[in-house]
């Protein structure tokens, strides 16, 4: 199964980095056949037999910790796939495919009514799945666990509540602050090949290993790990805004460094992967926000950036540059949001999903609730549903429970940063010197190496000595943005 | 099986076009597992069951011609794989792997004695395989059929005998001719990206479809077809000799155009492939020799080449250029040989292989026989076995019977060219205009479209009205080289 998934990953990467378009149809057949075979293996009688034999107390005692964890993972997947009646799952896959293509058109036309019946079906299916899978405290927990094992509504309500009560006023103060940063110089022409060369320098500084990876062009950037010796990054370039490639690549680089440093012992097992979406995102956001949006990082690298660009930064000081790249402004589109307002976009989606699966919100109410929450949290309101409730693909793909990972990753990253500072108090100094290796080593020792051997909250507690604590993110944002906007 | 082979092809291509080196070990495991699964399917009880059910006269009558041919192909592979005892095959695979790595070192050290015991084992294994598979007239025929179904020693002895008796004296006359072409201008600095841009222009002119393919860099150039909508070319660049990339890419382009134009009806079946190594090579050599080493082709394209290069051809006439790129000179290394001497390199290998499998030659005699034949046919003698009998990887990989395909492809190409001239007498005019589409269409109608639906000699006879006839190649070489070297 790992081998087949490895082959599938190469084909996925290839499709998104220049595979000839006329070959896509037959490629889809190939992918369909291999994915089907993996699914069959994961739910086969042979698998059931292995699982029952290897799950006895006697077996557990004689097996290595890796094998025990591996059995646990396979059992989880077996249950997840086996508990849904095959016919029902097939229907669901068909609806999913339809929903994604309808969503594309609906978003373009800003026509929620068009998408509504499909979204209703997807929600209904997922409600039934929750019944099949079961739940403890809250139905939505079951969906959260797909992406973030151990995460609950109880935890999220608490942390999101505290985060919201701190960020919403901060966002408001900033929008009213007089001293907005100058940003014009960000938008000068910066040739793609020069951006790429600069980006490669930064990736090397971060500790991304080019002998175990490569950087390619794509439309929607991603990182993909085939195995720790082959973790690829893709990015895209905007010659009128270098930030897309530079910060985007640093973000994907964080994901990639995670997978490059999973223990070699786990290669060839399903444990050789990130432990959850949230922990994965914590690594990308650590590098993107805590490293590359830090002033110390640019004390070294603005000089380098000046070498690669065509004069646009020549008269720009590190402080001006730092303020410019940290400009915060409420915006409608999640993927364009800055690091301060971003969590608010996630909370809105979380509250809606939680309401949907606890029968407190109906699909038809979504546009109205969406717009109301945007106004309340961000102070702006979408003109139409295309830039509102229809903007993300996740729901069209049936991925409910996924969004919170983005914000969780951010909270994890802030908490890890705090813990790291105790062991690496010279953190800012390291950034100024471009010596990022101790940072990567700390992350590898505390996060990367474990792969799926530890659950997300287990990693967090072991690394930081406590459970999820949102205060670190709140402190970071308060301190940073009060300073940038000189709030009293 | 086709899906798995498709996945394997993507991984093969990826490994040779920049896959990170630290991922190679795990990638090899993935390839091993998928290849093993294909092998198992091809020899499974399920396959045996299909074959016996679908091979009855009654079944044959009710099945389409495609399905019948597909059953035939699967039967052939089943027999080939099933007749060798599994244990023996495993041993062979181990020896093969060892032999390849020993060969690499032996070639470097020019030490035949080091490689000899491995080569002896490989030959012995293949002799046993011939016994398992059976043979009709000549034991070596069985090996030839692996690469060129229907080809026999009887046919090859005849055509190679005639070819040799004509080429050997021609090569001798040329070496003694006074008017050798001027070639200095070929070796000027020609930047890689400019070579690449020129090469892409030429590929488009040939009719290579970039919506169904792509061009990448590699160390050992190849073309690979995943399906007709995705046939990729790879090439390498020498900035001191543009001919490597230009003629190399045209050659691979010929292979690729073949697979791009296989009938869509065959997609997803094992018939969607070139019918034999020889027919495949006929397509690459058609474009390389009969199109791109033709003076008319350069009447148009030398101007284009001047635009992309940095002045090296500015004072060069089409005639000078044509004579330079067609310089013929005996050389020791097959892959560096020109189009006149190339077939002699192949014949030497053919005669040795035929002797080995008919017990007329012993492995230990190889260096001596090799050197003697090079002296006799090409008038030169290797200084050491590294540039002699050890130069090719084929034998180390157990690929006996493969070499003749190269020369067969050449003969097929000359014969196809002759037949094409009857329908496209304006062939040279088309080249002068850069209108290569009718040429591609003729090849598609007569060769490409059939994939493996027809055997090589069937294709040749249908397209040219006769069996293999070496006279067309002899006439072509005699006429062309007598003119270039102004032989009386």
Domain spans in chain A, listed from the N-terminal domain onward:
2-111
Q: Percent of chain A beyond pLDDT 90?
A: 98
Q: What is the pLDDT of residue A180?
A: 94
For A20, the closest of B33, B213, B267 (CB atoms) is: B213
Please state, in angstroms and rounded to a whole number, the distance separating the CA atoms of residues A170 and A340. Answer: 9
Rounded CA-CA distance A140/A153 in Å is 7
| Among candidate residues B267, B258, B264, B274, the one with its CA nearest the CA of residue B207 | B258
* Cβ-proximal residues to B291 (8 Å cutoff; 6+ apart), any chain: B206, B250, B297, B431, B436, B439
Residue A86 pLDDT level (bands cut at 50, 70, 90):
confident
The catalytic site residues of B sit at: 252
Whole-angstrom distance, CA of residue A316 vs CA of residue A311? 10
What pLDDT does residue B86 have?
Answer: 87
Q: Provide, rounded to the nearest whole percent, the portion of chain B with pLDDT above 90.
A: 98
What tens digit of pLDDT does each residue of A104-137 get?
999 999 999 999 999 999 999 999 999 999 999 9
Q: Which of A34, A42, A144, A38 has the alpha carbon at shortest distance from A84?
A: A42
The answer to whether B221 and B248 have CB atoms below 8 angstroms apart is yes
Phi, psi of A121, rounded to the nearest 5 degrees: -65, -40
Maximum Cα–Cα distance across chain B: 70
Q: Which of A1, A2, A3 to mutate to test the interface with B (most CBs of B within 10 A)?
A: A3
The per-residue pLDDT for range A33-81, each reduced to its tens digit, is 999 999 999 999 999 999 999 999 999 999 999 999 999 999 999 999 9
- In sequence order, what are the beta bridge partners of A232? A224
For residue B111, pLDDT over 80 is answered with yes
A26 contacts on B by Cβ (under 8 Å):
6, 226-227, 229-230, 267-268
Which of the four pLDDT bands, split at 50, 70 and 90, describes residue A488?
confident
Nearest chain B CA: its distance from A271 CA (Å) = 15
CA A103 to chain CA centroid, Å, is: 22
Contact A10/B11, CB-based, under 8 Å?
yes
* B216-236 per-position pLDDT tens digit: 999 999 999 999 999 999 999
Contact B24 A209 (CB under 8 A): no
Average pLDDT (A138-148) is: 97
Which of B7, B34, B230 is opposite residue A19, by nearest beta carbon? B230
As a whole number, mean pLDDT of residues A288-299 equals: 98
- Rounded Cα distance between A175 and B476, Å, is 81
Q: How many CB atoms lie within 10 A of CB B289?
A: 26
pLDDT band at B424 (very low <50, low <70, confident <90, very high): very high
Q: Do B23 and A210 count as a contact with CB atoms less than 8 A apart?
A: no
3-state secondary structure of B414: helix
Q: Which residues have CB under 8 Å from B44's CB, separation 6+? A: none
Taking contacts as CB-CB distances below 8 angstroms, the residues of chain B near A262 are none
State whether residue B370 is helix, strand or coil. helix
Q: Min CA distance, A52 vs chain B (Å)?
A: 25
> Nearest CB to A22: which of B22, B34, B230?
B230
Using CB atoms, pick whichever of A14, A23, A33 lies closest to residue B229: A23
Say how far apart CA B189 and CA B240 lie, in whole Å: 5
Average pLDDT, chain B: 97
Map residue B223 onto helix, strand or coil.
strand
What digits encode the pLDDT tens for the residues B251-281?
A: 999 999 999 999 999 999 999 999 999 999 9
**Quick one: average pLDDT of B364-375?**
98
Does A280 appear as a known binding residue?
no
Chain A touched by B7 (CB under 8 Å): yes
Residue whose token pair is 């309808």: A102
A230 part of contact set with chain B, CB < 8 Å: yes
User: Which residue's structure tokens are 């790992």?
Assistant: A2
Helix (H) or strand (E) holding A232: strand A230-235
CATH number attached to the domain at B110-488: 1.10.1370.30
For testing contact with chain B, the best of A5, A7, A193, A216 (most B CBs within 10 A):
A7
Cβ proximity of A266 and A66 under 8 Å: yes
State which residue of chain A sits closest to B17, comparing Cα positions.
A214
pLDDT given at position B153: 98
pLDDT 10s digits, A218-259? 999 999 999 999 999 999 999 999 999 999 999 999 999 999
Question: Predicted ipTM?
Answer: 0.92
pLDDT band at residue B391 using 50, 70 and 90 as cut-offs: very high
Please check whether residue A282 is in contact with residue A414, taking contact to mean a CB–CB distance below 8 angstroms: no
Question: Does residue A461 have an active-site annotation?
Answer: no
**Which residues, in sequence order, are bridge partners of residue A231?**
A225
pLDDT at position B174 is 96
The structure tokens 């609906």 sit at: A106
Residue A234, strand partner residues: A216
Rounded Cα distance, B234 and B237, in Å? 10
H or E segment to which residue B217 belongs: strand B215-217
What is the CB-side half-sphere exposure of residue A488 using CA atoms within 13 A?
Answer: 2
| Tens-digit pLDDT profile for residues B295-348 | 999 999 999 999 999 999 999 999 999 999 999 999 999 999 999 999 999 999
Q: What is the Cα–Cα distance from B226 to A184, expressed in whole angstroms? A: 48
CA B339 to chain centre: 13
pLDDT tens by residue, B9-43: 999 999 999 999 999 999 999 999 999 999 999 99
B488 and chain A in contact, CB less than 8 A? no
């Amino acid at each position: 199964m790992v081998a087949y998934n490895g082959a599938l990953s190469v084909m996925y990467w290839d499709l998104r980095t220049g595979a000839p378009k006329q070959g896509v149809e037959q490629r889809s057949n190939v992918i369909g056949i291999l994915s089907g075979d993996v699914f069959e293996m994961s739910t086969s009688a042979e698998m059931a037999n292995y699982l029952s034999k290897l799950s006895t107390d006697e077996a557990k005692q004689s097996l290595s910790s890796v094998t025990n964890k591996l059995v646990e993972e396979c059992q989880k997947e077996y249950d997840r796939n086996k508990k849904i009646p095959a016919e029902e799952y097939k229907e669901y896959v068909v609806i999913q495919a339809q929903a994604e293509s309808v969503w594309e058109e609906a978003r373009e036309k800003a026509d929620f009514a068009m998408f509504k019946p499909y979204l209703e079906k997807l929600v209904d299916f997922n409600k039934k799945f929750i019944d099949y899978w079961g739940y403890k405290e809250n139905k939505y927990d079951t969906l959260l666990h797909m992406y973030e094992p151990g995460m609950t509504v109880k935890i999220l309500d608490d942390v999101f509540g505290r985060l919201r009560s701190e960020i919403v006023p901060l966002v408001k103060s900033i929008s009213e602050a007089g001293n907005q940063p100058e940003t014009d110089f960000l938008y000068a022409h910066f040739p793609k090949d020069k951006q790429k060369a600069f980006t490669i320098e930064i990736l090397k500084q971060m500790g991304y290993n080019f002998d175990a990876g490569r950087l390619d062009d794509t439309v929607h950037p991603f990182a993909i790990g085939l195995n720790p010796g082959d973790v690829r990054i893709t990015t895209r370039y905007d010659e009128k805004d270098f930030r897309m490639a530079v910060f985007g690549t640093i973000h994907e680089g964080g994901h990639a460094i995670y997978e490059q440093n999973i223990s070699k012992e786990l290669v060839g097992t399903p444990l050789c992967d990130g432990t959850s979406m949230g922990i994965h995102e914590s690594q990308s956001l650590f590098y993107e926000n805590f490293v590359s949006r830090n002033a110390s990082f640019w004390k070294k690298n603005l000089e380098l950036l000046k070498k690669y660009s065509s004069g646009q930064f020549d008269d720009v000081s590190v402080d001006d540059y730092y303020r410019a790249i940290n400009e915060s402004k409420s915006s409608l589109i999640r993927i364009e949001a800055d690091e301060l307002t971003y969590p608010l976009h996630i909370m809105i989606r979380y509250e809606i999903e939680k309401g949907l699966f606890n029968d407190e919100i109906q699909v038809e109410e979504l546009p109205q609730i969406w717009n109301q929450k945007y106004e309340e949290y961000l102070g702006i309101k979408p003109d139409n549903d295309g830039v509102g409730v229809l903007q993300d693909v996740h729901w069209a793909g049936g991925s409910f429970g996924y969004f919170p990972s983005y914000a969780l990753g951010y909270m994890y990253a802030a908490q890890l940063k705090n813990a790291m500072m105790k062991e690496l108090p010279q953190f800012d100094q390291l950034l100024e010197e471009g010596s990022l290796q101790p940072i990567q080593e700390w992350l590898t020792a505390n996060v990367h190496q474990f792969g799926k051997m530890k659950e997300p909250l287990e990693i967090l507690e072991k690394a930081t000595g406590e459970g999820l604590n949102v205060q670190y993110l709140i402190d970071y944002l308060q301190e940073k943005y009060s300073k940038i906007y000189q709030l009293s």
